C-alpha cells in the first residue's frame, strides 16, 4: 500500500487549520462486509485530535457517501477500488447543519465525484456572511436539500431529523440515516460510542497521545502502551468538556520554566510548551466517559451541554423515533468508535440514564461548559427557548 506523504496531502487545510494540518492520514476499514466502509482521519486543535469518519454505503449497485472528509489521494484511491467492485459514487450526503469538521471537505469531494448528486441538511450557514452555495464551492445545479427536496434512496434508507435547534448564530440539525439492509443507524454528532483504548488511527502517529500523557513540558515524548492509553483518556476529557474539572492551567512562569529544555526544542514537542497540569482524580473522570469492554454510548458532553441544554424535548423525540426503527442493531457515528451494538435494549438503557440524571448539569466536569452556556445566554447569543423559532 502506498501511503506516501504526497497521497495524504490536503492543500485546503488553511480554511480550517486543524491538526494534523496539511497531512491527513486515512484509515480504511470495512464495517459491514460488502455494505459499509469507514474512512477515518484525525482532526483537532493543539494535539487534541479525535477521529472523524466518512462512510461509504452500498445502495444496490451504487455507492453513497455520508459525512464528507478531505479527499486526499489516499482516500480517493480506496473509494475508487470500491467503485470498481460495487459501482459508482452517485450520492454525497452532508447530514449536519452545524458541524464544520464535516463540511470542510465537501467542495473538494463534490469535485472529485462530478456525477454525484449532493444532499445537504437544511439550514446550512457560512460565517461571517451567508454566501450562495456556488461561492462556497458547492455546485448548486446538482445539490438538493434533505426534507425540502425529499430524501435519497428511500427504499434502503429511512431518514430521521434531530432538531432543528436554534443555537443563536446558527442552527443545530442533523438528519440521521437508518440503513435498512444492515439495520445500522448512521449519525454525525448526535451520539458517540467511546472506548477506553486509543483508536487504531493513532497507530500511524501516536504523537498527540504521547504529548498529552505527560505531566509537564520538560518530559520527553516516550512511546509505551501505558503512555498511549493515558494520553487517550486525557484527549477524551478535553474533547468532551473543553476544560475538564481536574485540569489546571499553570502560571506562565511555571510553564516557561519547563519549556525549551535541550531535547524538547523541536516542533513535535511544541518546544516543551505544555500549559496543562492534571490534578489527582482525572482518571476517574475519564473512566466515566469510556466503556471497558464495549464502547460507552452517550451524547457527547459538549453537545449535551451547549446544544441541548434547553432542547431535551427535541432529543427525546428523536430517540423515541430511533427506538421504533424495526430491527435496529448498531450505531455508526462520525466520531470515535466505528460500529457499536445499538438495539432497543441499549436505547432504553440510554433513556433511563437520561431520565435519572440532571439534564442541565452545572457541577464537576460540566462546570466550564455550564459557565460558557450561561455566558452565551446572558449576552443574548443563544435563545432561552431554542425550539420556538422552528415551531411557528
Positions in the binding site for Fe ion (CB under 5 A): 99, 189
- End-to-end C-alpha distance for the chain, whole angstroms: 54
Instruction: Identify which of residues 82 and 165 has a Cβ nearer to Fe ion in the complex.
Output: 165
Residue 52: phi, psi to the nearest 5?
-120, 140
What's the min distance (Å) between Cβ of 161 and Fe ion? 17
Give CA separation, 245 vs 217, 278, 280, 363, in Å: 20, 9, 10, 9
Instruction: Identify which of residues 51 and 99 has a Cβ nearer to Fe ion in the complex.
Output: 99
What's the min distance (Å) between Cβ of 334 and Fe ion? 5
Give CA separation, 353 vs 87, 148, 255, in Å: 42, 34, 40
What's the min distance (Å) between Cβ of 86 and Fe ion? 26
Q: Counting every residue, how long is the chain?
A: 392
What's the min distance (Å) between Cβ of 149 and Fe ion? 24
Name the packing angle between helices 312-323 and 344-356 (round to 10°): 160
3-state secondary structure (DSSP) of residue 278: strand
What's the min distance (Å) between Cβ of 95 and Fe ion? 11
Q: Are 233 and 283 in contact (CB under 8 A)?
A: yes
Q: What is the 3-state secondary structure (H, E, C) of 29-62?
A: EEEECCCEEEEEEEEEECCEEEEEEEEEEEECCE
What's the min distance (Å) between Cβ of 107 and Fe ion? 18
With residue 343 as reference, give the H or E element that holds it: none
3-state secondary structure (DSSP) of residue 368: helix
What does the radius of gyration of the chain's CA atoms come to, in whole angstroms? 21
Helices (H), the chain: 73-85, 100-103, 106-112, 207-212, 225-241, 252-257, 282-287, 301-306, 312-323, 344-356, 367-378, 388-391
Cα(57)–Cα(62) distance, integer angstroms: 9
Minimal CB distance residue for Fe ion: 99
What's the min distance (Å) between Cβ of 66 and Fe ion? 12
What's the min distance (Å) between Cβ of 189 and Fe ion? 4
Instruction: Identify which of residues 172 and 276 has a Cβ nearer to Fe ion in the complex.
Output: 172
Helices (H) and strands (E) in the chain, counts: 12, 16
Q: Are 90 and 167 in contact (CB under 8 A)?
A: no
Instruction: Identify which of residues 7 and 174 has a Cβ nearer to Fe ion in the complex.
Output: 174
What's the min distance (Å) between Cβ of 160 and Fe ion? 17
What's the min distance (Å) between Cβ of 162 and Fe ion? 13
Instruction: Identify which of residues 192 and 264 has a Cβ nearer to Fe ion in the complex.
Output: 192
The closest of 137, 151, 150, 6 to 66, measured between CA atoms, is 151
Amino acid at each position: 500500500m502506498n501511503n506516501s506523504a504526497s497521497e495524504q496531502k490536503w492543500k485546503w487545510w488553511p480554511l480550517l487549520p486543524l491538526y494534523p494540518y496539511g497531512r491527513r492520514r486515512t484509515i480504511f476499514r470495512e464495517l459491514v462486509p460488502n455494505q459499509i466502509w469507514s474512512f477515518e482521519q484525525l482532526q483537532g486543535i493543539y494535539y487534541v485530535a479525535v477521529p472523524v469518519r466518512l462512510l461509504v454505503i452500498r445502495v444496490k449497485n451504487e455507492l453513497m457517501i455520508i459525512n464528507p472528509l478531505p479527499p486526499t489521494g489516499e482516500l480517493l484511491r480506496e473509494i475508487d477500488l470500491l467503485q470498481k467492485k460495487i459501482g459508482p459514487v452517485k450520492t454525497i450526503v452532508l447530514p449536519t447543519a452545524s458541524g464544520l469538521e464535516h463540511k470542510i471537505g465537501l467542495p473538494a469531494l463534490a469535485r472529485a465525484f462530478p456525477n454525484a448528486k449532493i444532499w445537504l441538511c437544511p439550514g446550512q450557514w457560512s460565517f461571517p456572511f451567508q454566501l450562495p452555495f456556488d461561492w462556497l464551492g458547492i455546485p448548486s445545479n446538482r445539490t438538493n436539500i434533505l426534507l425540502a427536496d425529499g430524501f435519497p434512496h428511500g427504499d434502503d434508507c429511512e431518514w430521521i431529523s434531530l432538531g432543528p435547534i436554534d443555537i443563536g448564530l446558527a442552527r443545530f440539525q442533523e438528519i440521521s440515516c437508518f440503513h435498512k439492509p444492515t439495520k445500522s443507524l448512521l449519525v454525525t454528532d448526535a451520539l458517540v460510542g467511546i472506548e477506553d483504548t486509543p483508536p487504531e488511527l493513532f497507530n500511524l502517529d501516536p504523537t498527540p497521545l504521547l504529548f498529552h500523557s505527560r505531566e509537564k513540558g520538560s518530559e520527553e515524548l516516550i512511546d509505551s502502551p501505558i503512555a498511549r492509553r493515558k494520553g487517550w483518556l486525557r484527549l477524551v476529557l478535553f474533547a468532551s468538556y473543553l476544560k475538564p474539572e481536574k485540569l489546571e492551567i499553570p502560571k506562565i512562569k511555571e510553564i516557561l520554566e519547563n519549556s525549551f529544555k535541550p531535547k524538547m526544542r523541536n516542533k513535535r514537542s511544541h518546544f516543551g510548551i505544555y500549559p496543562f497540569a492534571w490534578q489527582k482524580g482525572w482518571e476517574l473522570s475519564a473512566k466515566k466517559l469510556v466503556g471497558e469492554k464495549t464502547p460507552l454510548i452517550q451524547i457527547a458532553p459538549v453537545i449535551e451541554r451547549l446544544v441541548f441544554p434547553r432542547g431535551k424535548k427535541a432529543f427525546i423525540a428523536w430517540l423515541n423515533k430511533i427506538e421504533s426503527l424495526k430491527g435496529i442493531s448498531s450505531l455508526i457515528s462520525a466520531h470515535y468508535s466505528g460500529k457499536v451494538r445499538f438495539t432497543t435494549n441499549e436505547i432504553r438503557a440510554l433513556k433511563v440514564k437520561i431520565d435519572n440524571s440532571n439534564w442541565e448539569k452545572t457541577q464537576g466536569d460540566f462546570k466550564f461548559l455550564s459557565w460558557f452556556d450561561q455566558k452565551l445566554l446572558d449576552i443574548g447569543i443563544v435563545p432561552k427557548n431554542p425550539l420556538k423559532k422552528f415551531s411557528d
